[in-house]
Amino acid sequence: MAGTVAGNGAGRAALSGLRPLALKAATDQRRHRRVAVALLGRYMLSDRQEYPCQTVDMSPGGVRLTCAVGGEVGERIVVYLEHVGRIEGTIARLLPDGFAVAISATSRKRDKIASQLTWLANRAVLGLPEDRRHERLVPRQTLTTLRLEGGREIAARIVDISLSGAAVACEVDLPLDTSLIVGRTAARVVRQFKGGVAVEFRLPLSPDRFDENLVL
């Protein structure tokens, strides 16, 4: 009997020692679960030049990017992604259409990324319209100028802005897919509405400067 009790006690001690490890493994699995998500962004390599990119899938520990300009394995990289913001890391491996990045982040930052990825994965359930999926704001400076490819300038007023585009009021009808410069930001017309147009930026804005003081 004493041997049985001792054996049971030892077993319980062993199990109690395993539980934290099991919980930690489950937590780590959640933190590194990959989500297939297409986010527009920009990245900067060691040459300090910025290039456009789009995510293929992402976890709090890494992200796979499709892009035109590659780097070297082990090269440090800074990436700005819509909804996520700035992340840093190193190129882990090269792919035919881009590369994979190992993210360098604190536990708090990884938890924040995990929460954001969960929201992105569930946004269809939330019924969020695709063309209004980004946070929008009205800047303090709403007056701007539209510059067309031929050099023509058109006075305009910004209705609202998101990281990926803007609604602009103007008195000129601009055809769809018209290339233009809004202030100093390259864009193209993607939709028309009464009294203005919606434009999509050629490169998404940096989340770090996305507030009411933003000037395009």
With respect to residue 14, please indicate whether it lies within any of the assigned structural domains: no
Are 45 and 122 contained in the same domain?
A: yes
With respect to residue 11, please indicate whether it lies within any of the assigned structural domains: no
Domain C-terminal end among 128, 153, 182: 128
With respect to residue 26, please indicate whether it lies within any of the assigned structural domains: no
With respect to residue 2, please indicate whether it lies within any of the assigned structural domains: no
pLDDT band of residue 197 (cuts 50, 70, 90) is: very high
Average pLDDT estimate for 89-106? 95
The CATH number linked to 40 is 2.40.10.220
Q: How many CB atoms lie within 10 A of CB 23?
A: 10
Tell me how many helices (H) and strands (E) the chain has.
2, 13
Residue of 32, 103, 94, 36 lying closest to 67 (CA atoms): 94
pLDDT of residue 134: 56
By DSSP bridging, strand 179-182 and strand 76-81 are: unpaired
pLDDT of residue 185: 93
With respect to residue 168, please indicate whether it lies within any of the assigned structural domains: yes
Are 109 and 184 contained in the same domain?
A: no
pLDDT band of residue 111 (cuts 50, 70, 90) is: confident
Q: Are 51 and 68 in contact (CB under 8 A)?
A: yes
* Burial class, 12, CB count within 10 angstroms (exposed 0-12 / middle 13-18 / buried 19+): exposed
Are 93 and 175 contained in the same domain?
A: no
Q: Flag whether pLDDT at 1 surpasses 60.
A: no
pLDDT digits (tens, 9 = 90+) for 7-63: 444 444 443 444 444 434 444 444 467 888 888 888 999 988 888 999 999 999 999
Residue tagged 């031929």 (tokens): 150
Are 161 and 113 contained in the same domain?
A: no
Are 120 and 185 contained in the same domain?
A: no
Q: Are 212 and 139 in contact (CB under 8 A)?
A: yes
Are 200 and 147 contained in the same domain?
A: yes
- Helices 107-126 and 2-31 pack at an angle, to 10 degrees, of 70
Are 157 and 87 contained in the same domain?
A: no
With respect to residue 1, please indicate whether it lies within any of the assigned structural domains: no
pLDDT band of residue 4 (cuts 50, 70, 90) is: very low
With respect to residue 12, please indicate whether it lies within any of the assigned structural domains: no
Amino acid found at 139? P
Are 151 and 110 contained in the same domain?
A: no
Are 163 and 113 contained in the same domain?
A: no
Which DSSP letter does residue 135 get? -
Query: b/e for 121-159, b at 16 or more Cβ within 10 A?
Result: eeeeeeeeeeeeebeeeebeeeebebbeeeeeeeebebb
Are 63 and 124 contained in the same domain?
A: yes
With respect to residue 175, please indicate whether it lies within any of the assigned structural domains: yes
- The DSSP element (H or E) to which 67 belongs, if any, is strand 62-67
pLDDT digits (tens, 9 = 90+) for 113-152: 888 888 777 765 555 444 444 577 889 999 999 999 989 9
- The DSSP element (H or E) to which 52 belongs, if any, is strand 50-59
203: containing domain: 143-209
Q: Flag whether pLDDT at 205 surpasses 60.
A: yes
Give the total number of structural domains in the chain.
2
Are 93 and 165 contained in the same domain?
A: no
Alpha helices in the chain (DSSP H): 2-31, 107-126
Average pLDDT estimate for 94-100? 94
pLDDT of residue 146: 97
Which tokens go with 134?
Answer: 């980004």
Are 102 and 168 contained in the same domain?
A: no
pTM: 0.49
